[in-house]
Amino acid sequence: MYQQLSKKNTKIAVIGLGYVGLPIALEFGRIFSVIGFDIKKERVISLNNKIDPDGEVPATAFEGSDVLFTNNVEDLNGCSFHIIAVPTPVDEHKVPDLSYLESATTIIAKILKKGDYVVYESTVFFFFSEEICLPILEKQSGLLLNQDFKIGYSPERINPGDTQYTLRNVIKIVSGSDEEALENIAQIYSAIVQPGVYRASSIKVAEAAKILENTQRDLNIALMNELSLILDKMQVNTYEVIEAAGTKWNFHKYYPGLVGGHCIGVDPYYLTYKSMELGYEPYVILSGRKVNDNMAFYIARRCMQQLIAAGKNLTDSKILVMGLTFKENVNDIRNSKVADLIHELKSFGLHVDVTDPKADNKETEKEYGFSLTTVNGTKYDAIILTVPHKEYIGLDERYFLSIAKEQCLFIDIKGVFRKKITQLNYWSL
């Protein structure tokens, strides 16, 4: 397969051109011929104009990459190595939404031919590739696994907004349906990943490894969040405690905060869903998820408590929330827990303005039902810094005082202005 791709006798197909699929397509396109497919016509048009709608990939990254971006399924017919990198969210009941993955698998199944490979990058629960996707591939194509085609799983490790740890310089886990598949997949991915690949013993191991990576981080943050709830009652700053504990050689620093986005706040539910399907209730993982999911509501309540303590009338109070994206310096608002905070404050009658230099207003209105605004001379009873975008951390207390009423509350969720705010009523997790 590698030789065929190298000679450009066949092509790589990348299904899904979001924050995962686009970098993969561009990197492979520097060595092989690639067809990048997405069902969204507007995204395809933007990509053909060297514009990443997500703002993650600069225009220069498109240079020197042999990629055809398309929303036409027929363009995939010349491909033999298919990579599926579509979203895998959870629904409002925290149940995995498999529709995107099943739809992408169906698309590939209809064009699948003998000798082809299908590699999944999307986060899934273990057994998913073989129990859910494989039957679709075999039924729709009439072909048999390992006899006619191969499958594999190589979990994405892309961290949005991170320019240090990228696709090219982070070890890639690879797996295959048999030894031949594993070696071919490993060889192909090794062409674009400088540190090389890790060969997992099975597809199931690779699937579980991906979920473990994010579940571990989720639980560590949950521990810090729960610690912050306890320390807040003792009027002790959590960040000071973490910095003190961090002087020990084997202490790992994690910090409290809102845990959202499409990975850490979602992937553990894929593990818990499969666990309960197998008859085991994962108490620790679910407990961590409960703590993290409730942090937005806790912050909202603490905000209101402190406003009341300052003699403020809640229904007359104006709140400024600075930041909506799920993390700093990205434009992605998916599964942002800041939205939970905003809705909770609004449910008690508070007037809430929301700013974010990265987020798109139309997308915000569509996703959450409220609009972004700008600060135009409004004075606020509380300022909540939720996302430390670079545009925000460059500000100083003089700016915040200029938009603050008397006895204004300053809530610094990530603690970036700790020891820098002296005149406002400061609080952080």
Query: Which residues are identified as catalytic?
Result: 263
**CA 29 centroid distance within chain:** 24
Q: How far apart are CA 217 and CA 223, in angstroms?
A: 10
Asked whether 93 and 368 are in contact (CB, 8 A), the reply is no
Q: How far apart are CA 122 and CA 89, in angstroms?
A: 10
Would you tell me how many other CB atoms lie within 10 Å of the CB of residue 54?
Answer: 15
User: How is residue 270 written in tokens?
Assistant: 């894929």
User: How is residue 216 written in tokens?
Assistant: 């571990």
User: How is residue 424 written in tokens?
Assistant: 């406002």
Instruction: Give the angle 131-334-101 at the CA atoms, nearest 5°.
Output: 20
For tokens 């065929």, the residue is 4
Residue 231 carries which side chain, given as an amino acid letter? L
